[in-house]
Structure 1
Amino acid sequence: MRAFSLLFLLGCLLPNARAQHLEEYIQTALANNLELSQQEFSYQEAQARLDQAKALFWPKVSINGRYSLAEGGRTIDFPVGDLVNPAYQNLNRVNQFISGNDPTYPAYPTYAPINNEQTSFLRATEQETTIRLEMPVYNQALLHNRQIQENLVGASEATLAGFRRQLAKDVEQAYYTYAQAYYGRQILADALALVRENLRTTQSLQTYHQATAADVYTAEAQVAGILQELAVARQREQSAQAYFNTLLNRDYTAAIQLPAATVEAPLSALSVTAAQQQAFQQRAELQQLNFYLAAAEQQRKIATGNRLPTVNLRTDYGVQGTTYSFGADDDFVMASVVFAIPLFDRSTSAKVQEATLAQQRLGAQKAAAEQQIGLQIVNQYYALTAAQEQIKQAKARRTAAGEAFRLQQRLYEQGQSNQVTWQNARTNLTTAEQQLVIAQYNYLIQLAEWEWASGE
């Protein structure tokens, strides 16, 4: 019997937790999964922000220019004419008097009167163009900001690593879910062949008046019942196939290769305590919170550092004037030391308090996460142990049901058993086979969950 042979193989040999093709599928998912690509972009963004924080320590060079046109505004009067015109008039009279009495006196020109001057504070045209070099000398905020970004990169990297582990677990569980659905459908397909053969035999017996019409209807009902179950099983298989291929970013109907060879999958060697300690070291959630705590400490130092001075260097070289010219008298250079010393800022204390509270909140969040992970490990361990026990009992049930059906089949063929008894034996065998497949792959699904939870 094909169904019995299939389940004999599945019952004696449990599929390996890392089947032949599973690793390849996991690598395909890690390379193609769209959600993982989003996480990788987030990690690259964090790295770019770190590069920006590091760049703040480098000198900055810029060209700054200003060209202005002005009209109106305040003016200032210079009484030049009022000051020098009386002197010019006296000189003109003296020159005129002397030249009239002495023909040898030189002919000096007559001094023309000078008007008073009015000058605008704003030049009609003015420009200033400089090349500026700036760099920080002492600024604790820049140092702590760089350390914050380094911790945020670490947190993003931990998130990315955690998502990869989560994706690998999802692919593994989806693979086993598909295998569970596939072999479940195969069991029903084998059962369908069995009940169809029974229907053919019953119809033949009716021809020779050795079976009644009721027997034929009963056999037909068995076929219809299996077909009904098979339709549901086929839908489950197709849904599992589509979900698995979605994780790999493949066509929904792409074929999935199931393991051809199987080995025993033992219970994890880790104890609950060892698994908890390993999870506390390896789980991405806790690593991420550690980086956030370190970043919060640097944020507190930034808030505290608002009381410290800052010192920068600045050098300008350029030209200025009413027009653009580059003569020796047009360029200039100016070097400055720019510093700021905070004396009083009431908001600094509030910022320090805010940063301290953020640290405390993250510490409480980490403690709660460790508690939840510890509880998760305990629950997963007992669930894994129960799943292994279910396999043991399902094997025993399948063996007993298979032997019972074998005996009933012989009696039925010899005419010593009725169709109802045969049908019950066949139904019990099919159910036992299905439950064994479910138990086997539930164990592997649970094992993948345990390995993920414990950080293996």
Structure 2
Amino acid sequence: MKYLLLLLAWPVLGQKSVLDDYIATAFQQNITLQQKNIQVEKAMIALKSAQSLYQPTVAFQGGYQSGQGGRSIAFPVGDLLNPVYSTLNALTKSTAFPQIANVETNFFPRDFYDVKVQTSMPLYNKDISYNKQIQEQSISLQREDASLYKRELVKQIKTAYFQYLLSLGLQKVYENALNLAIEGKKVNEKLLANGKGLPAYLLRSDSEIANIQAQMADASKQSQAAQMYFNFLLNRELRADIRIDFEVEKALNAAYNVTPGAREELSLLSKSIGLQETVLKMNESFYLPKVSGFLSLGSQSTIYDINAKSAYYFLGLQMDIPIFTGKRNLYKIKQSQLDIASARNTLDLSAKQFTMATEIAQKNVQSSLVSFQASTKSFEAASAYLRLIEKGYKEGVSTYLETVDARNQWMNATINYQLKQFNVLIAAAAYEREAASYPL
């Protein structure tokens, strides 16, 4: 009954365990999580960039132009004014009005410069406001995505750690079984020396020892693989030592009331819908005017004629109102509406799927607990049976084949006990993941 309490609870232990320390290390060092954090930082920079659009833009601009030849335009000022000047000279009987020549001017300016400081600033533009909201929502999405990966990472780390402990436990089982087999061989050698044993028993002992050694080698490979994968998740050296001072019994007997947390997947979908709704609002505001202003302060003249009169200012307003765009804006609005409808359906379906997954994970914990309880009884019975048979064999009551069978039963029961024990912890980690109960 005490194990069934785990159905209602599988958070962390009351005090931080070595596993919690490893999880905290992974939160700092895991490469994928670091990439997620970089994406959050990029989203924050994008928000600052969007906010800067409200501020004026100031730029210095300068230009110099000079040319000769090409097209020209003639001004017949001489033809127009010389007759007038002649008449005036005749009336005044003087030469006060000299004759002037016609003027021909090229289009190209000669030694002309224009330098200015130009300032422009948006005065009314709803797109900037909506863009800022979108960037703020993007930051929230990136953070939620990082939390989602943390949640999955916790499960992977716990599962990898339990598998590593399991591999060590199996190695210990095979080691004990090997010691028993070696001890059995020694007993057979003594019995054979005293004329009570059979040579076939020694061959059977050698075969048993070789079989266990092969299983030990396989368990060692599995342990190394589990060690490397666990260290990979923590972004550590693959052969780094792993602390094994984890209180398995305390974990199995832990009983805490758990209030399932909010799943990051659902929050991510909800926030994604909010972002799409902002995009829809921005698309719907296409008819609103965009107003901006500008001011230029500068100087322009020829290089040889720089004076106070060459300074100038130039300011103005600019308005942009769309009239016809081939209904492209209306199509964008319709697409946004369909995207929102699809996202809401996905949210509703995902909520039901996650509820089902949580209940299945809970039942898996219950099933693994029942199996563990059964394996515990089988292990205790096999251990007691092995002690009786070995004692009887030494006393000549039991046969050697009964001893071998008892050892095999004990080894299989012990292996099954180890498997079922850690299956409970692995199933509990999966339930914890589905319930989103581990504090991030």
Per the normalisation by structure 1, the TM-score is 0.87
CA distance in 2, matches of 1:385, 1:193: 35
Residue 144 of structure 1, CA deviation: 0.8
Task: Name the CA distance, whole Å, in 2 between partners of 1:326 and 1:168.
Answer: 73
CA shift in 2, pair 1:226/1:85, >3 Å: same
1:320–1:331 Cα contact (<8 Å) kept: yes
- From 271, 279, 288, the counterpart of 2:268: 288
Q: 2:373 maps to which residue? A: 392
The structure-2 alpha-carbon separation of the partners of 1:252 and 1:322, relative to structure 1 and needing over 3 Å to count, comes to same
Query: Which runs of structure 2 are paired with 1:216-365 in the superposition (5 Å)?
Result: 216-259=202-245, 261=247, 262-266=249-253, 275=260, 278=261, 282-323=262-303, 327-345=307-325, 346-365=327-346
Q: Distance in 2 between matches of 1:118 and 1:355?
A: 62
CA offsets, 1:288-331, max 9 Å, x none? 11111111111011111111111222221111123387632111
Q: In the alignment, what sits opposite 2:5?
A: none
Deviates more, 1:143-152 or 1:159-168: 159-168
User: Which residue among 32, 51, 66 is the counterpart of 2:29?
Assistant: 32
C-alpha deviation, 1:90, in angstroms: 6.1
User: Percent identity of the aligned residues?
Assistant: 25
Please state how far the C-alpha of 1:161 moved relative to its aligned partner: 1.2
- Residue 7 of structure 2: aligned partner: none
Q: Residues of 2 paired with 1:49 and 1:445: CA distance?
A: 41
CA distance, structure 2, for counterparts of residue 362 and residue 66 of structure 1: 53
Q: Give the Å deviation of 1:269.
A: 6.4
2: CA distance, partners of 1:213 / 1:305:
95
Corresponding position of 1:189: 175
Change (3 A) 1:343 1:395: same
Matched, 1:377 2:377: no
The alpha carbon displacement at 1:340 in A equals 1.7
- Secondary structure, aligned partner of 1:306: helix
The equivalent residue for 1:49 is 46
**1: CA distance, partners of 2:121 / 2:246:** 66
**Aligned amino acid, residue 81 of structure 1:** G
SS of equivalent to 2:23 = helix
Mark the CA change 1:69 to 1:371 in structure 2 (over 3 Å): closer, same or farther: farther
Offset of 1:180 from its aligned partner?
0.7
Does the 8 A contact of 1:17 with 1:265 survive in 2? Answer: no
> Counterpart of 1:263 in structure 2: which amino acid?
K
Q: Contact (CA 8 Å) 2:121, 2:292: kept in 1 or not?
A: yes
C-alpha contact 1:16 1:263 (8 A) present in aligned 2: no
Cα distance in 1 for partners of 2:69, 2:281 equals 51
Instruction: Find the residue that maps to 1:329 and give its secondary structure.
Output: helix
In the TM superposition, residue 91 of structure 1 has moved relative to its aligned partner by: 6.9
What is the distance in 2 between the residues matched to 1:324 and 1:399?
109
Please report how far the alpha carbon of residue 193 of structure 1 lies from its aligned counterpart in structure 2 after TM superposition: 1.0
Distance in 2, Cα, partners of 1:324 & 1:422 = 116
**How far does residue 266 in structure 1 lie from its aligned partner after superposition?**
4.6
Q: Distance in 1 between the 2:114 and 2:304 partners?
A: 9
Q: Is the counterpart of residue 64 in structure 1 residue 69 in structure 2?
A: no
Residue 426 of structure 2 corresponds to which residue in structure 1?
445
User: CA 1:152/1:17 → structure 2, altered by over 3 Å: closer, same or farther?
Assistant: closer
Give the drift of 1:93.
7.7
Q: Deviations over 1:256-295 (max 9, x none)?
A: 1112644153587679xx74xx4xxx21111111111111
Q: Structure 1 residues 79, 355: closer, same or farther in 2, change over 3 A?
A: same
* Secondary structure of the corresponding residue to residue 416 of structure 1: coil
Distance 1:260 1:120, change over 3 A: closer
Work out whether 1:405 is the aligned partner of 2:386: yes
Question: Partners of 1:268 and 1:453 in 2: how far apart?
Answer: 18
Q: Which has the larger radius of gyration?
A: 1
Structure 2: runs of 5 or more not aligned: 1-9
Q: Who is 2:73 aligned against? A: 76
State the partner residue of 1:9: none
Over residues 61-115 of structure 1, what are the superposed CA-to-partner deviations in whole Å (9 max), with x where a residue is unaligned? 22122323445554321002212334555677889xx7xxxxxxx8x5894x533
1:160 aligned to 139, 146, 170, which one?
A: 146
Q: Give me the whole-angstrom Cα distance separating, in 2, the residues matched to 1:267 and 1:139.
A: 58
The whole-number CA distance in structure 1 between the counterparts of 2:187 and 2:63 is 103
**Count of residues in correspondence between the two structures:** 424
Quote the Cα distance in structure 1 between the aligned partners of 2:40 and 2:426. 30
Match of 1:102 in 2: none
In the alignment, the residues of structure 2 paired with residue 31 and residue 202 of structure 1 have an alpha-carbon distance, to the nearest angstrom, of: 57
Give the partner amino acid of 1:396.
K
The answer (yes or no) to whether the contact 2:18–2:246 under 8 Å persists in 1 is no
Q: How does 1:120-159 map to 2 (within 5 A)?
A: 120-159=106-145
Q: How far has the Cα of 1:221 moved from its partner? A: 0.6
- Pick aligned residue for 1:21 from 11, 15, 18: 18
Please say if residues 141 and 268 of structure 2, whose CA atoms lie closer than 8 Å, have aligned partners that are also in contact: yes
TM-score (norm 2): 0.90
Q: Which amino acid aligns with 2:345?
A: A
The CA RMSD measured in Å over matched residues stands at 2.4
